[in-house]
Amino acid sequence: MLFRYKKAVYQGSFFYFPFLLATTLAVGRILMRIGGRAPIAITGVLLATAIIFMPATSFYQFYPEFQHSGPILASISNDVANEVLRKRASGCAADRFVLAAMNPDPIPTETVALDLAMRQRVRIAPTGLYAVRSAAEMDHAVDGADFVILSRAGELSNLPGSKFGAHTSLRLSTSADWRRIAASGDYELFAKAKCR
């Protein structure tokens, strides 16, 4: 479900898989009219090649204010992966980490989780806090996370959770339980100081 009318930032290739399968089967039926075993082998090779080399996801970002979201995704993913390595080196036995955000800009948490799983083999449970309506509920939800992305895009009228960005940033910045691991003009990224 999207909270905006625009296209999602990522879409899975599973969306395209039925079209790929239908096209391959149609080509296979056409080749079967030729006869012999060669058409079956050709169809199998084409389908296997498409499945192997087709990426699991594709990235799309057309918001004018976030045209540079590809490098932002890479930066956030690398920062989270480095922090996970640091935590594991210090004895943290957790195999899954929670990433929370109260605004889908500049990068939705699902996109970061998928990128980390594919490129870094880090298991992340994304948590969108977009619909949280009270500061106490937001504090409780944020305290249950290992990483928090705070967008500097400001409040979005259709996402009540986005109004707690400044409050959460101040709270995490002054807390001994959290540390800022990255910041830019678009976002702040915080990590829990200790293993959850």
pLDDT of 5 strictly over 50 = no
Q: Based on the domain organization, do 156 and 184 belong to the same domain? A: yes
Task: For residue range 43-96, list pLDDT tens digits in order.
Answer: 778 778 877 776 665 555 555 666 677 788 889 999 999 999 999 999 988 889
Asked whether 188 and 152 are in contact (CB, 8 A), the reply is yes
Task: For residue range 90-130, list pLDDT tens digits in order.
Answer: 998 888 999 999 888 778 888 888 889 888 889 999 988 88
Q: Which residues pair with 100 in a beta bridge?
A: 127, 148
Give the pLDDT mean for 153-169: 84
Q: Based on the domain organization, do 188 and 103 belong to the same domain? A: yes
C-alpha 4/C-alpha 137 separation (Å) is 23
Residue 31 lies in a domain: yes
Nearest alpha carbon to residue 104 among 86, 139, 130: 130
User: 32 is in which domain, residue-wise?
Assistant: 17-53
In angstroms, how far is CA 93 from the centroid of its own chain? 23
Q: Based on the domain organization, do 26 and 116 belong to the same domain? A: no
Q: Based on the domain organization, do 183 and 108 belong to the same domain? A: yes
Domain boundary among 53, 76, 99: 53
Give the pLDDT mean for 151-163: 81
Q: Based on the domain organization, do 82 and 148 belong to the same domain? A: yes
Residue 5 lies in a domain: no
The residue that leads in pLDDT, 99 or 7, is 99
Non-local (6+) Cβ contacts of 31 within 8 A are 38, 39, 40, 42, 43
Q: Based on the domain organization, do 114 and 177 belong to the same domain? A: yes
**CATH number of the domain residue 148 falls in:** 3.40.190
Q: Based on the domain organization, do 34 and 110 belong to the same domain? A: no
